[in-house]
């Protein structure tokens, strides 16, 4: 990648740049409020994931940033400039969608070069420069030698690489990715996930990535912004969201979860005849809901704990998952390495279940 790309593409530089600032953005479609005053900042060169269920507002926010939707209220600024008021050419946003949006009648090379060739004559690079940039991008996205092929001659993963190369060709100030791997199978998605992170690190382009896949967001992003019904629930590093979720929704959405009612006493959650250390991120007191992951769950044949019956034992690679039912019908899950399988674990076995630690929220 030429040295000049990092200087022009929104990379991390100590030059006083302010990054992308979203402030109080609201957007309504008819009676449906898609965004309800969302505010966040994306640092120059950062990889931010917008994560949330369908209808949470993540794609609407991406489209507002990209200029495809005009907000009803609020502002978007890039390096201190009004991003919404900028012309599309000056805004210089690269966008990649789920379904590639490649020109079927153009070769791979022509698709990548398209954004450069349609520039006004005074801004258009020379033909030799465009050809050189296309070759650089083909190398970057690991498609060397495929420039003369057509999209129909490529796999889904290869087409998505072409779409990304085309978005990068214009040297975008911001790169927007709207569930770009959604149409691909799980194995290809995982391969492209790590490849995309490498491309981001090489180019330094400020990147915003929309996904509803928690694992994808946590693997890829520097920070993750979790949205729910048009509201920003929490933004932070993957580790911060895992360790200190701001709400029960965030905890539940980020992965499989068990929960039990408890009484909070200092930094301990009390459950009848047993207790567990408690992480209290919201200042909850008194009667609380205690949440814990399957890997934070213990099963034993006796001792303190909730009486459960094992209903199923599943093996996934090196991990065993036990599904259990309490006497009131609630279902719990517990994960163990195969080498640390609890004694007596079998379908139909009575066991005692207890969490090693919990995160508590007000009921």
| Ramachandran angles phi, psi of 169, nearest 5° | -60, -35
Calpha distance 11→217 (Å, rounded): 20
Tell me the C-alpha to C-alpha distance, in Å, between residue 3 and each of 9, 134, 199, 203. Answer: 11, 16, 15, 10
Helix (H) or strand (E) holding 52: none
Quote the tokens at residue 99. Answer: 């379904």
Check: CB of residue 26 under 8 Å from CB of residue 37: yes
Tell me the pLDDT tens digit for each residue of 241-297.
999 999 999 999 999 999 999 999 999 999 988 999 999 999 999 999 999 999 999
Q: Give the pLDDT confidence score for residue 183 in this predicted structure.
A: 65
The pLDDT score that the predictor gives to residue 4 is: 31
Q: For residue 286, what is the enclosing H or E element? A: none
Confidence (pLDDT) at 252? 96
* CA pair distance 171, 272, nearest whole angstrom: 61
| Long-range contacts of residues 322-330, Cβ cutoff 8 Å, at least 24 apart | 322/351, 324/299, 324/351, 324/353, 326/353
Rounded CA separation 168/137 (Å):
8
- What is d(CA 96, CA 113) in angstroms, rounded to the nearest whole number? 15
CA distance 137 to 88: 23
pLDDT confidence of residue 123:
85
pLDDT score for 6 = 33
CB atoms within 10 A of CB 192: 20
Provide the whole-model pTM: 0.88
Residue 98's nearest CA partner among 27, 171, 157 is 157
Residue 184, pLDDT score: 73
Q: Report the pLDDT value the prediction gives residue 193, as an integer from 0 to 100.
A: 84
pLDDT 10s per residue in the chain (363 long)?
333 333 333 344 445 567 999 999 999 999 999 999 999 999 999 999 999 999 999 999 999 999 889 999 999 999 889 988 887 777 889 998 877 688 999 999 999 999 899 888 888 999 999 999 999 999 999 899 999 999 999 998 898 889 999 999 989 999 999 988 776 777 777 778 888 898 999 999 999 999 988 999 999 999 999 999 999 999 999 999 999 999 999 999 999 999 999 999 999 999 988 999 999 999 999 999 999 999 999 999 999 999 999 999 999 888 999 999 999 999 999 999 988 899 999 999 999 999 999 999 999
Count other Cβ atoms within 10 Å, centred on residue 296: 17
- Cα 253 to chain centroid, rounded: 12
The rounded distance, in Å, linking the Cα atoms of 234 and 2 is 37
């Amino acid at each position: 990648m030429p040295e000049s790309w990092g200087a022009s593409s929104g990379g991390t530089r100590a030059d006083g740049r302010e990054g992308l600032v979203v402030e109080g953005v609201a957007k309504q479609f008819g009676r449906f409020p898609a965004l309800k005053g969302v505010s966040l900042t994306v640092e120059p060169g950062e990889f931010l994931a917008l994560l949330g269920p369908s209808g949470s507002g993540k794609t609407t926010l991406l489209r507002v940033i990209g200029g495809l939707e005009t907000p009803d209220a609020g502002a978007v600024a890039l390096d201190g400039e009004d991003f919404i008021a900028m012309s599309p050419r000056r805004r210089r946003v690269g966008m990649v969608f789920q379904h590639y949006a490649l020109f079927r009648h153009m070769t791979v090379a022509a698709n990548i070069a398209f954004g450069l060739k349609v520039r006004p004559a005074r801004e258009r690079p020379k033909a030799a420069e465009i050809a050189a940039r296309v070759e650089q991008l083909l190398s970057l996205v690991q498609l060397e030698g495929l420039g003369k092929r057509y999209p129909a001659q490529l796999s889904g993963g290869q087409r998505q690489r072409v779409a990304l190369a085309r978005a990068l060709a214009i040297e975008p100030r911001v790169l927007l990715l709207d569930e770009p791997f959604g149409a691909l199978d799980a194995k290809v998605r995982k391969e492209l996930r790590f490849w995309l992170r490498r491309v981001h690190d090489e180019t330094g382009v400020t990147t915003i990535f929309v996904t509803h896949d928690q694992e994808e967001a946590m693997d890829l992003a520097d920070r993750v912004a979790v949205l729910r019904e048009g509201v920003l629930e929490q933004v932070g590093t993957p580790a911060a969201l895992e360790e200190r979720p701001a709400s029960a929704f965030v905890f539940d959405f980020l992965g499989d979860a068990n929960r039990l009612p408890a009484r909070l006493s200092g930094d301990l959650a009390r459950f009848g005849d047993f207790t567990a250390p408690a992480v209290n991120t919201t200042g909850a007191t008194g009667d609380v809901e205690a949440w814990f992951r399957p890997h934070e769950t213990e099963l034993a044949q006796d001792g303190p704990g909730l009486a459960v019956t094992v209903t199923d034992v599943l093996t996934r690679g090196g991990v065993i998952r036990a599904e259990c039912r309490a006497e009131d019908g609630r279902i719990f899950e517990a994960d163990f390495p195969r080498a640390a399988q609890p004694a007596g674990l079998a379908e139909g076995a009575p066991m005692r279940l207890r969490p090693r630690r919990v995160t508590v929220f007000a009921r």
